[in-house]
Structure 1
Amino acid sequence: MKYQSKKRAVLLLADGTIFYGKAVGGKEGTSFGEVCFNTGMTGYQEIFTDPSYFGQLMVATNAHIGNYGTNEGEVESQTVKIAGLICKNFSYEYSRPDADSSLLDFLNKSNTLAISDVDTRALVSYIRDNGAMNAVISTDVDNIENLKTELAKLPSMKGLELASKVSTKEPYYYGEENATYKVSALDIGIKLNILRNIAKRDCYIKVFPYNATFDEMQEWNPDGYFISNGPGDPEPLNASINTAKDIISSDKPLFGICLGHQVIALANGVSTYKMHNGHRGINHPIMNLKTGKGEITSQNHGFAINREETEANPDIEITHVHLNDNTVAGIRLKNKDVFSVQYHPEASPGPHDSEYLFDEFLNLIKNSANQKVKV
């Protein structure tokens, strides 16, 4: 192992609970965020670069992290988005033939603090019982009281708008310019593999900042619209919610994923709430109520839409439910070409059971375009 001497580190939870560990790579520092856990056995690089995790301290439940290194082609954004990493065993060496870097080097490029040798089984069990909460990881183990004081100043994830922190600052294009269809995408934390999945279905995409207006998005004359995943509480996203309302009124196809799903719900008068723990992993069971088939899905969200309000809304149909807790996992508008899901059909990382949703989006776009030609 490269690092025989490991510097002590601490994880301090908002309720005062303390877990001790070691600083990965001997790196010193302090990082704050909401602590949460992901149950995926693989895909740590994609998870760490997922903009939906911005502002969160990630606990990896898999016992070994870093053992297969990293590859520059397997990112979901250009930089690491997690606030910090907490793990049991950190692998400084890697053995995958097509890896081009170690996880340590990858994290160091983004100056991301990581701690290892933490009892992650006990930690995850504690979070499951007590809920996701703010926390701090630090090598300043002799100043716990100072860390408590600083941690108390950290705002709750409830009510926190983070999409502006990860969204593109200027519009950009993705895909083949000569593709048959055009899609305007609202970036509130978009993953690269979502763009890949839309683009490979003969679509050229223009990606807009989180606060783009409908007029700005429709000026490109797209055949359909998309609202992405992203971090934080959906309720403060007033600009995105208003844009979603205008898109829905335009009668063009609209597809939303994760935070985009919540924004579409809010645009239709359905409220959202912060979950006790959230869903984060690549093995979450979903029931498709239209087909009666189960799907294993990749999920990453700490908020959900209100089921009672969804069921009471005459314009909304629930299409998918989470089988662990019966939360709403998918909806569609009954008289519009609008649908959304609370999970990640692009599944990077994860299973591909739900990739058909991109095909459904394309079919809506095709049908809408054909109707436009007939008119």
Structure 2
Amino acid sequence: MKAFLILEDGTVFTGTSIGSTKSVISEIVFNTSMTGYLEVLTDPSYAGQAVVMTYPLIGNYGVTPDMESAQPWPDGYIVRELSRIPSNFRCQGTIQEFLKEHDIPGIAGIDTRALTKILREKGTMNGMITTDENYKLDEILPQLHVYNTGNVVDKVTCCEKKVLKADGYKVALLDFGAKNNIAQSLHKRGCEVTIYPAHTTAEEILSSDPDGIMLSNGPGDPKACTDIIKEVKKLYDSEVPIFAICLGHQLMALATGADTYKLKYGHRGGNHPVKDLETGRVYISSQNHGYAVDADSLDQTIAVPAFTNVNDGTNEGLKYTGKNIFTVQFHPEACPGPQDSGYLFDKFIEMMGGQK
């Protein structure tokens, strides 16, 4: 069956339908990872977006247990070529079946390199994936211009508190769309991790007397999380050590008076170099975000830049003055990798008092 990707600038790509055949409007973004397509599909940070995979062959090892959450989150999936016969001893099905099962439409067989060049040159834009061959461009384009993802954190956060038992430090993890490997990275270091829904009050979290607090990654515009930002400010005012990743990094910055802005086409992939400003060392990182903290808006008495992006100079981390708080824009828990910056979890353990 034919499928069409219609961009808000009027560009139309024609390919083959994969997954669900329903029509969907979403923000179109691209990911440059060469492996880990299943982790991309199950990353809650992609809620409200349709993902273009720049690597040309997707699905060659099928669906395996390597999932970052219990379900896929993108609104749509866009690939050059979808493997018809996956081969892996852990394979539990095909990507095609996986998309159909979860009612996610996709399109294959289009020139994803040309599409990515458009998104790089013109910036991220909205688009529609549809199998309707009688679509009317003059009716669709106005819809694309006004589409907004809104607050998608509420869609991806857990519904109730859950605990990963251990004998070490007690860490409270606020789930704004947390990837599984964040909790696992702490748990394998001996931490007891309590995962809280995004709108849990600071009072409830602090009443459990945690040794440390983690603010997770998540989807969407951080400025849409107004209620959460107020609670994060209360956590900042406490004396509990805090480590924040991605959206959590942005929310802490907003809670302490800094600003955020939307990047032209975002950072999504597994090969982004970030520089530690204290040591000068460069790490290769996994990233998935469309917004960044405005380093020029920082009050230097509150926070100073700790990491910067080598490619474009954007802020990649903050160290908070006089506080046991540090935040990063990239993913130190990266799964499948790279794992260059996994040491930051050890740094968090040291902030809580060192190994028990």
Fold conserved (TM > 0.5)? yes
CA distance in 1: counterparts of 2:285 and 2:189, whole angstroms: 21
Q: Please say if 1:21 is aligned against 2:11.
A: no
Aligned-residue offset at 1:185: 1.1
Q: Counterpart in 1 of 2:156?
A: 166
Displacement after TM superposition at 1:337 (Å): 0.3
Name the residue aligned to 2:60.
Answer: 67
After TM superposition, what 4+ stretches of structure 1 lie above 6 angstroms from structure 2?
none
What's the offset of the Cα at 1:144? 2.8
Are 1:183 and 1:225, in contact at CA under 8 Å, matched by a contact in 2? yes
How far is the alpha carbon of 1:239 from its aligned partner? 2.1
CA distance in 2, matches of 1:178, 1:97: 32
Corresponding residue for residue 362 of structure 1: 349
Aligned equivalent of 1:117: 109
Partner Cα separation in structure 1 for residue 321 and residue 334 of structure 2: 27
TM-score, normalising length from structure 2? 0.96
How big is the shift at 1:152?
4.0
Correspondence 1:58 to 2:48 = no
Instruction: Identify which range, 264-273 or 91-100, moves more after superposition.
Output: 91-100
Q: Which residue of 2 aligns with 1:350?
A: 337
Asked if residue 334 in structure 1 is aligned to residue 321 in structure 2, the reply is yes
Q: 2:71 aligns with which of 79, 90, 98?
A: 79
Q: Is this contact kept in 2: 1:298–1:349, CA < 8 A?
A: no
Q: Partners of 1:107 and 1:239 in 2: how far apart? A: 33
Out of 100, 105, 108, the residue aligned to residue 108 of structure 1 is 100
Conservation of the 8 A alpha-carbon contact between 2:8 and 2:144: yes
- C-alpha distance in 2 between matches for 1:161 and 1:322: 27
If the length of structure 1 is used for normalisation, what is the TM-score?
A: 0.92
Equivalent residue, structure 2, for 1:31 = 24
SS in 2 for 1:24: strand
Separation in structure 2 between the aligned mates of residue 322 and residue 264 of structure 1, nearest angstrom: 19
- Is residue 316 of structure 1 aligned with residue 303 of structure 2? yes
- Listed one character per residue, the Cα deviations across residues 208-236 of structure 1 (whole Å, up to 9, x for unaligned) are 11111111111221111011000000012
Q: Is 2:173–2:183's contact at 8 Å kept on the other side of the alignment?
A: no
Aligned equivalents of 2:145 and 2:275: distance in 1?
40
Distance 2:151 2:236 in 1: 23
How many Å separate the matches in 1 of 2:181 and 2:136? 40
Q: Which residue of 1 aligns with 2:121?
A: 129
Displacement after TM superposition at 1:147 (Å):
3.1
Cα distance, 1:350 vs structure 2: 2.1
Asked whether the 8 Å contact 1:89–1:117 carries over to 2, the reply is yes
User: Structure 2 unaligned runs (5+)?
Assistant: none
**Can you list the C-alpha shifts for 1:177-216, whole angstroms capped at 9, x where unaligned?**
2422111111111000111001111111111111111111
Distance across 1 between alignment mates of 2:21 and 2:45: 26
Cα shift at 1:149: 4.6
Give the aligned partner of residue 98 of structure 1.
Answer: 90
Is residue 47 of structure 1 aligned with residue 40 of structure 2?
Answer: yes
Counterparts of 2:217 and 2:302, CA distance in 1: 23
Letter in 2 for 1:314: T
* Structure 1 segment 188-207 matched on structure 2, within 5 A: 188-207=176-195
Residue 249 (structure 1) aligned with residue 237 (structure 2): yes
Counterpart-to-counterpart distance in 2, 1:293 and 1:75: 31
CA separation in 2, counterparts of 1:130 and 1:121? 14
Provide the C-alpha distance between the structure 2 equivalents of 1:18 and 1:292, rounded to a whole number of angstroms.
Answer: 45
* Matched residue SS, 1:15: coil
SS in 1 for 2:77: strand
The code of the aligned residue for 2:318 comes to I
Corresponding residue of 1:187: 175
Q: Secondary structure at the match of 1:339?
A: strand
CA–CA separation in structure 2 for the residues paired with 1:147 and 1:20: 16
| 2:3 alignment partner in structure 1 | 9
Do 1:185 and 1:226's aligned partners in 2 also have CA atoms closer than 8 Å? yes
Asked if 1:210 is matched to 2:198, the reply is yes
Is residue 265 of structure 2 the alignment partner of residue 272 of structure 1?
Answer: no
Match of 2:132 in 1: 140
- The 2-side partners of 1:277 and 1:151 are apart by 17
Q: State the Cα distance separating 1:51 from its structure 2 match.
A: 0.4
- Please state whether the residue corresponding to 1:366 is helix, strand or coil: coil
- Code of the aligned partner of 1:355: G
Matched length: 355
Q: Aligned-pair distance for 1:251?
A: 0.8
Query: Once the 2 structures are TM-superposed, how far is the Cα of residue 18 of structure 1 from its aligned partner?
Result: 1.1
Q: What's the CA shift for 1:153?
A: 4.4
Decide which of 263, 284, 287 is 1:299's aligned counterpart: 287
| C-alpha separation in 1, matches of 2:94 and 2:224 | 38
User: Counterpart of 1:235 in 2: which secondary structure?
Assistant: helix
Letter aligned with residue 294 of structure 1: V
Partner residue, 1:373 = none
Give unmatched runs, 5+ long, in structure 1.
1-6, 371-375
Counterpart AA for 1:366: G
